C-alpha cells in the first residue's frame, strides 16, 4: 500500500478505532490496515447474509401470527402484546401513509428488534392501576413456534429442547452480529451478546446464521451455505506475510 494512502486511511479511520487492529497486528504480525479492511468486508458480508435472514424471520413470524389470528392485520387485534411491542406497532403504523397502509407495508416497517422481542419473556401492558404482566410464552405456544419449522429437528440434533428461550438465543446472536456490523464496530475480536456475559467469534456467528436459516427452512440453510457472503469473506483472511 502506498505511504500516502496509508496516511489517508489512518486519518479517516482514526487511531482510536484502529487500536484493536493494532493490538492484533502486534500479536500476529499482520498489517493493521489490511486487518481493518478485511474486518470492513466481514461487516458488509454479514449484513448481506443477515438481510436474507431478517426478511425470512419477519415473514415466517408474520405468517404464524396471521394463521393464528385469521387476519393479515393481526396487529389490530388483541394479540397479548406488551407495551414495548405495541409502541413498535404504533410507530410502524404511523410511518406508512394512510393511502398506502396495507398489512404488508405495516409489517415491513417492523424492525428486527420487534420480532426478537416477541421471543422474549414479555413485559408489561397498560399503565398505572391497569398495568399487568404479559407472558409471551402464551404467544409462543399459540402461534410463534410454528414459524420455526426446523426447530424440533435442530433441537433434537443438539440434544436440546425446542423452546421459546432456546430459539431466542440464536435470534439474539444473529441480531447482535447485525447490529455490530451496522454500527461499524470491529468483528475481529468477537461479538458481545447483549444481556449475556459472553462473546462469540465471527466464525461462530456464521454458524448461528446457518442455524437460524435451518430453524426457518432447511432449504434456506442449504442455499445460504452455498451462497454466504460472510463465508467467502472469512476465507479471505489476511495472512501473516502481508
**Local mean pLDDT, 10-residue blocks, the chain (242 residues):** 84 85 89 94 98 98 96 92 96 96 97 97 92 95 97 97 98 97 94 92 97 98 98 91 46
Tell me how many domains the chain contains: 1
Look up the domain containing 112 and give its range.
Answer: 27-234
In a domain, 104, yes or no: yes
Tell me which residue of 219, 213, 209, 221 sits closest to 178, measured CA to CA. 209
In a domain, 4, yes or no: no
What's the pLDDT score for residue 35?
Answer: 94
In a domain, 157, yes or no: yes
In a domain, 3, yes or no: no
In a domain, 65, yes or no: yes
**Interhelix angle for 202-216 vs 32-69, to 10°?**
20
In a domain, 6, yes or no: no
pTM for this prediction: 0.93
| Pairing assessment for the beta strands 124-125 and 191-192 based on DSSP bridges | unpaired
In a domain, 16, yes or no: no
C-alpha cell recorded at residue 38 = 478485511
What's the pLDDT score for residue 9?
Answer: 85
In a domain, 178, yes or no: yes
Amino acid at each position: 500500500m502506498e505511504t500516502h494512502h496509508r496516511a489517508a486511511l489512518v486519518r479517516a479511520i482514526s487511531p482510536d478505532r484502529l487500536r484493536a487492529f493494532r493490538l492484533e497486528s502486534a500479536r500476529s504480525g499482520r498489517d493493521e490496515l489490511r486487518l481493518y479492511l478485511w474486518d470492513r468486508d466481514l461487516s458488509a458480508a454479514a449484513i448481506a447474509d443477515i438481510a436474507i435472514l431478517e426478511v425470512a424471520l419477519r415473514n415466517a413470524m408474520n405468517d404464524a401470527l396471521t394463521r393464528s389470528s385469521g387476519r393479515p392485520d393481526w396487529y389490530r387485534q388483541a394479540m397479548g402484546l406488551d407495551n414495548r411491542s405495541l409502541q413498535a406497532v404504533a410507530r410502524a403504523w404511523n410511518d406508512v401513509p394512510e393511502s398506502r397502509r396495507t398489512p404488508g407495508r405495516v409489517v415491513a416497517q417492523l424492525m428486527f428488534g420487534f420480532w426478537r422481542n416477541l421471543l422474549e419473556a414479555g413485559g408489561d401492558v397498560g399503565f398505572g392501576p391497569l398495568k399487568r404482566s404479559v407472558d409471551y410464552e402464551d404467544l409462543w405456544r399459540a402461534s410463534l413456534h410454528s414459524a420455526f419449522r426446523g426447530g424440533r429437528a435442530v433441537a433434537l440434533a443438539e440434544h436440546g429442547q425446542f423452546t421459546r428461550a432456546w430459539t431466542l438465543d440464536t435470534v439474539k446472536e444473529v441480531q447482535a452480529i447485525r447490529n455490530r456490523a451496522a454500527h461499524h464496530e470491529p468483528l475481529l475480536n468477537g461479538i458481545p451478546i447483549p444481556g449475556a456475559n459472553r462473546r462469540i467469534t465471527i466464525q461462530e456467528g456464521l454458524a448461528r446464521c446457518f442455524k437460524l436459516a435451518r430453524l426457518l427452512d432447511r432449504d434456506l440453510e442449504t442455499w445460504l451455505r452455498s451462497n454466504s457472503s460472510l463465508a467467502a469473506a472469512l476465507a479471505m483472511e489476511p495472512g501473516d506475510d502481508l
